[in-house]
Amino acid sequence: MKKLVNNVDDVTVEQLKGLQLAHPDLLDVHFDPNYVTAKGMPDDDKVAVISGGGSGHEPLHGGYVGKGMLDAACPGQVFTSPTPDQMYEAGKAVAGKKGILQIVKNYTGDVMNFEMAADMLRADGIEVRNVIIDDDVAVKDSTYTAGRRGTGTTVIAEKVCGAAAAKGYDLDRLAALCKTVNINGKCMGMALTSCITPQNAAPTFDIGDDEMEIGIGIHGEPGIERMGLKSADDITELLASRILDDGAYTRQLSEWDPEKGAPVEVEVVDTTFQKGDQVIALVNSMGGTPISELYTVYAKLQAMADAKGVSIVRNLVGHYITSLEMQGVSITLVKVDDEILELYDAPVHTPAMRWGC
Amino acid sequence: MKKLVNNVDDVTVEQLKGLQLAHPDLLDVHFDPNYVTAKGMPDDDKVAVISGGGSGHEPLHGGYVGKGMLDAACPGQVFTSPTPDQMYEAGKAVAGKKGILQIVKNYTGDVMNFEMAADMLRADGIEVRNVIIDDDVAVKDSTYTAGRRGTGTTVIAEKVCGAAAAKGYDLDRLAALCKTVNINGKCMGMALTSCITPQNAAPTFDIGDDEMEIGIGIHGEPGIERMGLKSADDITELLASRILDDGAYTRQLSEWDPEKGAPVEVEVVDTTFQKGDQVIALVNSMGGTPISELYTVYAKLQAMADAKGVSIVRNLVGHYITSLEMQGVSITLVKVDDEILELYDAPVHTPAMRWGC
């Protein structure tokens, strides 16, 4: 197992200690339970924005804690949901008078645990809303997930909602905004190689030297199709055509209804990208693919968007939501309006995303 | 070969096209010969800062073209020096009245070709200074290199000199600054796996599943020692102890003397890090190692620096100077004074480094 680790049982703690040492101006890392909080929290003038999930997807989520993005992150063990007590302690640490928005990737464990934490926080008198990201257009229902998985749109949702919280949005408006970002975000990924979890010390799945998998999840969950290696353009076509044409499936998981103990059913809307749409594009390395190769994917993606009349107005090309050292790429497109674009452009300073300050 | 490429013969051009499409606000890519220029150049009020080298180390150098860093980059084919005509055309495109600083990593082909380009530009009446980066403390003389190789300090030199050029430093002062950064910068890397060049489609070197190589070059050049896999802390100790104790070797390659056609011999100085020194630390993925693992390395590095009384005042943890998809890490420490630190902190906006704007 070719990893820079000391003790596989402590890998998350080791990495969090380094995050703390490298970024003492931006965040504090807490242990037992493990969570990361932004400096300057709690702040009664803003909703606290929290996310989290299994480790192994860095810089998501700890790398997005700081100014103008997340106020707290709850890292679970590698590919394992964080526990409700992590989320509860994180929530208590950062909640001011305006409550908490929890941004939750749609994995069953994450959804359940964030909802349990929300109940615990509500019992303490803290208002909490959970918005679920379920943007992966590859498959409906998968390992660890009922419905669509939550992937790349999470990065954009954290940036946009972090900016909106800093601007003073109240919890209702912030939750509505997060749902809007999610409903307008579509992602799909592919793998050239498997990742290796430190605990298992072996590939999560077997894949031949001449094979790739389209539609893979960020934990190596099965995709749509295993096939022979294709060119970067063909791979981009497979991903982006599905993203650009998606719309038939209507997601219903955008928010958890604590009264019903079930997802809120949202209005059925056609979210297919249309001519004239403006989008933010994220071309993301699954971890082991170097940034140079992502630019080849970006070129084809932009050509395809252009052909459909969809305008990429901002882009991120790099390592944003990874799957350990897996080689491969994911593409995310999020349709934006003027409000969302302005929030996206707002200053941010976190370990892994920074501009305007 | 598990890469996102279309045609291996066009891989550099493919990637440059994507860079152009993704960052039209920051840079222009030119083809035949290939070079990248920053928007707003030429500018008579500033020295033009140019770098370049073989591709495969992205985001170095094209990812650092923009505002407050490089004014042009010359990408060669993968792991192949760019040609003098690339550098000459780039120089002509960006040179104003204050001349050109060329920052050159110490590889024989790069040094020769940048000097040929400098001569061609001088023949056109453009003042040019070449400063050579030779910061790799692993080995003296290596494949492709007489003397020490140029590695991580290049990133810091490009940032600092780009800021100084934007601030109006004249060419003499800028070249002196770049030499100061180089002399005070030390780097060393290690590999867990080999990289694979698109042309060869096979590992550059063979390495066992239970082996690693300490002191590797960014093209997979041999290091100091092949050994069994060690823990992240032990690996960091091997790299950082050599960096922190380096000083006996005095580098002489900081600048090329066009009169003599040979490197300028610099004063013999002891550049060993001392108690009380302030440094910028770069903990860099060789490409395939995920950012999470870099934080484990950072924690040990900081503990070692602290133990020596060396204070890490800024850090970069991520993918900055890579070797395709090679797994591994390099560590760079650059001693800084107040002037260099202020320049490092100055606003920058490039595809791969951005803050303050």
Domain containing residue A306: CATH number: 3.30.1180.20
Contact B184, B334 (CB under 8 A): yes
Q: How far is the C-alpha of B321 from the C-alpha of B73, rounded, in Å?
A: 14
Residue, of B250 and A217, whose pLDDT is higher:
A217
Out of A23, A61, A219, A319, pick the active-site residue: A219
Give the model's confidence band at B222: pLDDT under 50 very low, under 70 low, under 90 confident, else very high: confident
CB contact under 8 A, B293 and A351: no
- In this structure, the answer to whether residues A43 and A92 fall within a common structural domain is yes
Residue, of B201 and A266, whose pLDDT is higher:
B201
Of B19, B235, B315, the CB nearest to A295: B19
Burial of B92 (0-12, 13-18, 19+ CB in 10 A): middle
Residue B344, min C-alpha distance to chain A (Å): 14
| pLDDT per residue as tens digits for the range A81-113 | 999 999 999 999 999 999 999 999 999 999 999
Q: How far is the C-alpha of B231 from the C-alpha of A279, rounded, in Å?
A: 43
| Residues of B marked as catalytic | 57, 219
CB contact under 8 A, A4 and B318: no
CB contact under 8 A, B6 and A193: no
| pLDDT per residue as tens digits for the range B182-209 | 999 999 999 999 999 999 999 999 999 9
Contacts of B321 in chain A (CB under 8 A): none
- In this structure, the answer to whether residues A132 and A221 fall within a common structural domain is no
Residue A103's DSSP bridge partners are A51, A131
Contacts of A297 in chain B (CB under 8 A): 4, 18
| High-pLDDT (> 90) share of chain B, % | 88
Residue, of B267 and B276, whose pLDDT is higher:
B276
Which of A292, A319, A354 has the highest number of chain B CBs within 10 A, making it the mutation to test binding with B?
Answer: A292
Give the model's confidence band at A248: pLDDT under 50 very low, under 70 low, under 90 confident, else very high: low
Over residues A165-180, mean pLDDT: 96
Contact A281, A330 (CB under 8 A): no
B256 domain-assigned = no
Give the model's confidence band at A250: pLDDT under 50 very low, under 70 low, under 90 confident, else very high: low
Confidence (pTM): 0.96
As a whole number of Å, the CA-based R_g of chain B is: 19
**Per-residue confidence (pLDDT) for residue A270, from 0 to 100:** 82
**Per-residue confidence (pLDDT) for residue A266, from 0 to 100:** 62
The total number of structural domains in chain B stands at: 2
Give the model's confidence band at A227: pLDDT under 50 very low, under 70 low, under 90 confident, else very high: very high
**Per-residue confidence (pLDDT) for residue B249, from 0 to 100:** 52
B157 domain-assigned = yes
Q: How far is the C-alpha of A191 from the C-alpha of A175, rounded, in Å?
A: 32
The CATH number assigned to the domain holding A142 equals 3.40.50.10440
- In this structure, the answer to whether residues A116 and A196 fall within a common structural domain is no
CB pairs under 8 A between A and B: 177
Would the pLDDT of B169 be above 80? Answer: yes
**Per-residue confidence (pLDDT) for residue A57, from 0 to 100:** 98
Give, in order, the Cα–Cα distances in Å from B21 to each of A68, A151, B40, B54. Answer: 27, 24, 18, 21
Report CA dihedral (A197, A199, A205, A210) to the nearest 10 degrees: 60
Give the model's confidence band at A144: pLDDT under 50 very low, under 70 low, under 90 confident, else very high: confident
- In this structure, the answer to whether residues B223 and B242 fall within a common structural domain is yes
CB contact under 8 A, A296 and B324: no
State which of A134, A166, A185 marks the end of a domain: A185
- In this structure, the answer to whether residues B162 and B207 fall within a common structural domain is no
Contacts of B233 in chain A (CB under 8 A): 6
B213 domain-assigned = yes
- In this structure, the answer to whether residues A208 and A141 fall within a common structural domain is no
CB contact under 8 A, B355 and A352: no
B282 domain-assigned = yes
CB contact under 8 A, A299 and B21: yes
- In this structure, the answer to whether residues A17 and A44 fall within a common structural domain is yes
Would the pLDDT of A259 be above 90? Answer: no
- In this structure, the answer to whether residues A90 and A106 fall within a common structural domain is yes
Of B6, B290, B329, the CB nearest to A322: B290
Of B18, B229, B295, the CB nearest to A22: B295
A3 domain-assigned = no
Of A6, A58, A302, the CB nearest to B292: A58
Which of A31, A295, A313 has the highest number of chain B CBs within 10 A, making it the mutation to test binding with B?
Answer: A295
| High-pLDDT (> 70) share of chain B, % | 95
Residue B310, min C-alpha distance to chain A (Å): 15
Contacts of A21 in chain B (CB under 8 A): 298-299, 302
CB contact under 8 A, B291 and A324: no
B261 domain-assigned = no
Residue, of A139 and A90, whose pLDDT is higher:
A90
| High-pLDDT (> 90) share of chain A, % | 88
- In this structure, the answer to whether residues A35 and A98 fall within a common structural domain is yes
B262 domain-assigned = no
Q: How far is the C-alpha of B207 from the C-alpha of B56, rounded, in Å?
A: 20
B-chain residue closest to A322, CA distance: B290
- In this structure, the answer to whether residues A235 and A92 fall within a common structural domain is no
B3 domain-assigned = no
Would the pLDDT of A253 be above 70? Answer: no
- In this structure, the answer to whether residues A67 and A127 fall within a common structural domain is yes
Residue, of B268 and B102, whose pLDDT is higher:
B102
| pLDDT per residue as tens digits for the range A14-51 | 999 999 999 999 999 999 999 999 999 999 999 999 99
CB contact under 8 A, B356 and A352: no
Closest CA to A48 of A150, A175, A156: A175
Contact A323, A204 (CB under 8 A): no
- In this structure, the answer to whether residues B83 and B225 fall within a common structural domain is no
**Per-residue confidence (pLDDT) for residue B36, from 0 to 100:** 98
In which domain, by residue range, is A48 found? 12-185
Would the pLDDT of A268 be above 70? Answer: no
Of A4, A193, A233, the CB nearest to B6: A233
Mean pLDDT, all residues of chain A: 94
Mean pLDDT, all residues of chain B: 94
Would the pLDDT of A319 be above 90? Answer: yes
State which of B145, B160, B185 marks the end of a domain: B185
State which of B160, B185, B210 marks the end of a domain: B185
| pLDDT per residue as tens digits for the range B272-330 | 999 999 999 999 999 999 999 999 999 999 999 999 999 999 999 999 999 999 999 99
**Per-residue confidence (pLDDT) for residue B269, from 0 to 100:** 76
